[in-house]
Amino acid sequence: MNGQYASLLIALPLISAFFVPLIKELGRKAVMGYLVMITALQTAIAGWVANEVYSTGKPIIVIAGGWKPPVGINLYIGHFAALFVLIIAVISFFMAIFSFRAVNVEPVDKYAMLFLLLMLGATGMIATGDIFNLFVFMEITAISAYALTAYNKTGEAAEASMKYIVLGGIGSSFFLIGVALIYGATGTLNMAHLAQLAGAIDPTVAQVGLALIIFGLAVEAELFPLNAWAPDAYQAAPHPITVMFSAFVVKAGLYAIGRLLYLFQGAEGWSGLLRLLVILATLTVIVAELSALRQKDAKRMIAYSSIGQVGMIAFALALGTQAGVSAGVFHMVNHAIVKALLFLTVGYVGVALGGTAIENFQGLGKRMPLTALTITIGSLATVGIPLFNIFWSKIRILLAGVEAGYSWSVALILGASVVEAVYYFRLVHTMWFVEGGGRIRENFAIGVIAIFLAALIIVIGVYPNDVWTIVQKAGQDLFNVANYIKNVPLMGVGA
Q: Which listed residue (52, 220, 222, 232) binds other proteins by CB under 8 A?
A: 232
Which position among 163, 299, 335, 473 is part of the footprint of other proteins (CB under 8 A)?
A: 163
- By CB under 8 A, tell whether 219 contacts other proteins: yes
Q: Whole-number minimum distance, CB 171 to other proteins, in Å?
A: 7
Residue 74 pairs in a beta bridge with 63
**C-alpha–C-alpha distance, residues 175 and 133, integer Å:** 12
C-alpha dihedral over 361, 362, 363, 369, to 10 degrees? 0
**Piece of 46-54, 331-339, 424-432, 487-495 that binds other proteins (CB under 8 A):** 424-432
- Rounded to a whole number of angstroms, the minimum distance from the CB of residue 465 to other proteins is 6
- Between 40 and 357, CB nearer to other proteins: 357
Nearest to 267 by CA among 321, 221, 312, 210: 210
- Per-residue three-class SS string for the chain: CCHHHHHHHHHHHHHHHHHHHHHHHHCHHHHHHHHHHHHHHHHHHHHHHHHHHHHHCCCEEEEHHHCCCCCCCEEEECHHHHHHHHHHHHHHHHHHHHHHHHCCCCCHHHHHHHHHHHHHHHHHHHHECEHHHHHHHHHHHHHHHHHHHHHHCCHHHHHHHHHHHHHHHHHHHHHHHHHHHHHHHHCCCEHHHHHHHHHHCCHHHHHHHHHHHHHHHHHHCCCCCCCCHHHHHHHHCCHHHHHHHHHHHHHHHHHHHHHHHHHCCCCCCHHHHHHHHHHHHHHHHHHHHHHHCCCCEHHHHHHHHHHHHHHHHHHHHCCCCHHHHHHHHHHHHHHHHHHHHHHHHHHHHHHHHCCCEHHHHCCHHHHCHHHHHHHHHHHHHHHCCCCCHHHHHHHHHHHHHHHCCCHHHHHHHHHHHHHHHHHHHHHHHHHHHCCCCCCCCCCHHHHHHHHHHHHHHHHHHHCCHHHHHHHHHHHHHHHCHHHHHHHCCCCCCCC
Q: From residue 278 to residue 307, what is the string marking binding to other proteins with x (rule CB under 8 A)? A: --x------x--xx-xx-------------
- Spell out, one character per residue from 453 to 492, where the chain touches other proteins: x when CB under 8 A holds, - when not: -----------xx--x---x--------------------
Q: Which stretch binds other proteins (CB under 8 A): 15-23, 309-317, 356-364, 418-426?
A: 418-426
Least distance (Å) between residue 437 CB and other proteins:
20
State in angstroms the smallest separation of the CB of 325 from other proteins: 14
Q: Out of 411, 485, 491, 493, name the contact with other proteins by CB under 8 A.
A: 411
Q: Which is nearer to other proteins, 3 or 121 (CB)?
A: 121
Measured from the CB atom, the residue of 44 and 156 that comes closer to other proteins is: 156
Shorter beta-carbon distance to other proteins: residue 46 or 319: 319
Q: What residues between 233 and 262 interact with other proteins by CB under 8 A?
A: 235-236
183 binds other proteins (CB under 8 A): yes
Q: Does 266 bind other proteins (CB under 8 A)?
A: no
Compare residues 163 and 339 and give the one whose CB is closer to other proteins: 163
Interface region with other proteins, contact rule CB under 8 A, candidates 6-14, 254-262, 310-318, 399-407: 399-407
90-149 positions binding other proteins, by CB under 8 A: 132, 135-136, 139, 142-143, 146-147
Which of the residues 355 through 394 are near other proteins (CB under 8 A)? 380, 385-387, 391-392
Q: In residues, how long is the chain? A: 495
Interaction between residue 422 and other proteins (CB under 8 A): yes
Q: Is 23 in the site for other proteins (CB under 8 A)?
A: no
Q: Please pick, from the candidates 68, 110, 366, 426, the single residue that binds other proteins as defined by CB under 8 A.
A: 426
Q: 174 vs 348, which CB is nearer to other proteins? A: 174
| 4, 56, 104, 173: which one binds other proteins (CB under 8 A) | 173
Question: Shortest distance, CB of residue 490 to other proteins, whole angstroms?
Answer: 16
The residue within the footprint of other proteins, chosen from 127, 150, 370, 478 (CB under 8 A), is 150
Residue 269 makes contact with other proteins by CB under 8 A: yes
